[in-house]
Amino acid sequence: MSQPAVFFDRDNTLNYDPGYLSDPNLVRLFDGVGEGIAKLRNEFNFKIVVISNQSGISRGYFSEKEVVTINEKINSILKLNFNTQIDAFYFCPYHPDFSSEEESKCRKPSPLLVFKAAGELDIDLTNSYFVGDSISDIECGINANLKTVLVNYENDKGKIISLKNINKTPTFIVENFLNACNSIITDFTGGKLLVK
C-alpha cells in the first residue's frame, strides 16, 4: 500500500551548507531536524526522501561518492541520536553550464526525481509534501502537485515576494524546522499533534 512522503531539500534545509559540502566532518544538522524527522517517520509513517541538486559534481568540486558519504553521515547522526533515518536520497549531479540539457532535466525545479522516487518507493503523492529553503524547492514541489513548506531560516522576505510574483506561493512559510514538521502534521491529521 502506498505511503505518503515528506520530500526534503538537503543543504540549508536539513544541514548547514558551508558551500559545496564534501567533508562529512563538517555535517551539522539544524535544530529540530532529528526530532522532526523522527516524529514524521516513526509516529506518522511518512517516508522521508531527500531531493537535492548537487551540481558540485559536474563542476568538479567533489565526486558522487563524496555526496553519498555526506548522505550517509546525515543518516548516521539521525540513527544514532534520534532512532530514525532518511529512507532514500536522490540527487541531480548535472548543471546546464557543464552538462547537456537532457542530463540536466533532473535538476529542481523539475519534479523528475520526485516522480522517480514515487515510482520506486510506492509513494502516495496526493498526501505528500515538499520542504525546502529555496525558490526552486517550492517550484519543484508545486510542479509535482505537492503541498509545500518554505523553511525561511533567515526571514528573507524577498524570497516570499519572488514566489508570489511567479504565482508559486508555498502552502506554509515557517521560520524553523520543527515548525515545518508541525505544519505538516497538523495539516495531515486535521489536528494539533505538535512536536514539543
> Which H or E element spans position 65?
helix 64-82
11 has catalytic annotation: yes
d(C-alpha 85, C-alpha 120), whole Å: 18
Cα separation of 158 and 147, whole Å?
Answer: 21
Of residues 11, 122, 137, 187, which has the active-site annotation? 11
Which residue of the set 9, 23, 97, 122 is catalytic?
A: 9
Closest by CA position to 149, among listed 40, 3, 34, 16: 40
Active-site residue list: 9, 11
